[in-house]
Amino acid sequence: MVLAAQTERASGPGLERWFAAAGAPVHLDLARSGAPARSVRDLLDLAEPGDVQEYFDMSLDYGPGIGTERLRAAISTYTGASPAEVVVTHGAVEALLLACGTAIGERQVVAVATPAYEGMCLAVEAMGGIAQSVPVWKPGSGCLDLGALCELDLAAYAAVMVNSPHNPTGLQADVAELEHLADCCARAGAALIVDEVSMGTLDSGAVSFGTSRAAESQAVMLIGDVSKAFGLGGLRVGWCATTCPKQRQRLATLRDVTSLGNSAPSQHLAALALENRSHLSVSEMARANLGRLDAWMGSRPGSSWTSPTDGLVAFPGLALPVSSLAFAERLLANHRVSVAPGGFFGHDRHLRVGLGLPPDVFAEGLAQLAEALGEAMCGADR
Ligand SMILES: Cc1ncc(COP(=O)(O)O)c(C=O)c1O
Ligand 1 atom closest to residue 120's alpha carbon, by position in its atom list: 3
Rounded to an integer, the average pLDDT of 83-87 is 97
Go through the chain and tell me how many residues it has.
382
- Domain residue ranges of the chain, discontinuous segments joined by +: 10-38+281-381, 58-278
Q: How far is the CA of 345 from the centre of ligand 1 (A)?
A: 15
| 83 has pLDDT over 60 | yes
CATH T-level fold of 58-278: Aspartate Aminotransferase; domain 2 (3.40.640)
CB atoms within 10 A of CB 325: 17
pTM beyond 0.85, yes or no: yes
The amino acid at residue 382 is R
To test the pocket of ligand 1, the residue of 228, 236, 258, 315 to mutate (highest count of ligand atoms within 8 Å of its CB) is: 228
| 5 has pLDDT over 90 | no
To test the pocket of ligand 1, the residue of 15, 225, 235, 239 to mutate (highest count of ligand atoms within 8 Å of its CB) is: 225
- pLDDT of the residue at 11: 46
Give Cα separations from 91 to 161, 195, 286, 288 (angstroms).
Answer: 17, 12, 22, 28
Question: Among residues of the chain, what percentage have pLDDT more than 70?
Answer: 96
Distance CA(306)–CA(291), nearest Å, equals 13
Per residue in 328-340, pLDDT (tens digit) is: 999 999 999 999 9
| 234 has pLDDT over 50 | yes
Q: How far is the CA of 50 from the centre of ligand 1 (A)?
A: 32
Q: Is 151 exposed, middle or buried (0-12, 13-18, 19+ CB in 10 A)?
A: exposed
To test the pocket of ligand 1, the residue of 227, 240, 259, 352 to mutate (highest count of ligand atoms within 8 Å of its CB) is: 227
CATH class name, domain 10-38+281-381: alpha beta
Per residue in 88-122, pLDDT (tens digit) is: 999 999 999 999 999 999 999 999 999 999 999 99
- pLDDT of the residue at 12: 57
Rounded to an integer, the average pLDDT of 282-304 is 94
- pLDDT of the residue at 380: 61
